[in-house]
Amino acid sequence: MATLIKGIKSVYEGIVNLIYPNSCPFEIAHECSMKNYCSPHGWNDKVCNFCFNEFVDLDLMPRLDKNGISIYSVAEYKNEPKTIIQKFKWSLPALALPIAELIKYKINNSVLEHQKFDCIVAVPGLLSEDRAWISSLLLAEELSELLNIELSEPLEKLEETNVHLLDKSGRKEMTKKAYALKENINLLQKEEQKILLIDDLIASGNTISTCIDLLLALNPNNKIIAITFATVSPSHKYTK
């Protein structure tokens, strides 16, 4: 009887989904030809097959910074992930939640599964006339809620970094000067902590490495793992 009821329910849900198809959470960022064929994959029962195959069903991509700190990325900065990041940064802050849900899924289904973090820290940014939100902070706020981990903000950005006309060493130097520890850091933030550092995108790695340096300056015993939604391949140049 239970099997029969389950079968009827499955058929009913299939008919409902056919008449009223789910929308992929990333649909607002792209025009996906597969958006009417959504399937449950254990992460989000509304993600379409296209997005799942494009970047959800991939292993986290690791790299190491100069301190040997692991930096993981969900997707490469191209095709759909590139479009999603561009829309998230400049026009669609609502993408913070589905991106955060995807990062949570990746954490829970990867080498990071058993990691226990004391706090989440966002790579800081600056508001401006053409930027009404800081994408990395929105992402960290959503992840803080989803993972039930405290959000800490010990870092600040002092100035914009217009590094495009500089050489490699010049870019590093400008980035290093643009970020700092906040002056009003409380004692709790100075204790040894396991930190999950969050950014939406890693390109050269200068920004996230500078933030890692600052968190280690706060306490050399801090354990840091960084994760971003997308990474720019070394063979490609970052373009907005």
Q: Is the pLDDT of residue 71 over 50?
A: yes
What are 79-99's pLDDT values in tens digits?
888 888 998 999 889 889 889
Domain boundaries, the chain: 1-57, 58-231
Q: Read off the pLDDT of each residue in 14-40 and give the average, rounded to a whole number.
A: 53
Which structure tokens are listed for 77? 């900065």
The pLDDT > 70 percentage for the chain reads 73
- Given a contact cutoff of 8 angstroms between Cβ atoms, the answer to whether 153 and 182 are in contact is yes
Residue 44 pLDDT grade (very low, low, confident, very high; cuts 50, 70, 90): low
Give yes or no for residue 201 having a pLDDT over 70.
yes
Which CATH architecture is the domain 58-231 placed in? 3-Layer(aba) Sandwich (3.40)
Answer whether residue 186 shows pLDDT above 80.
no
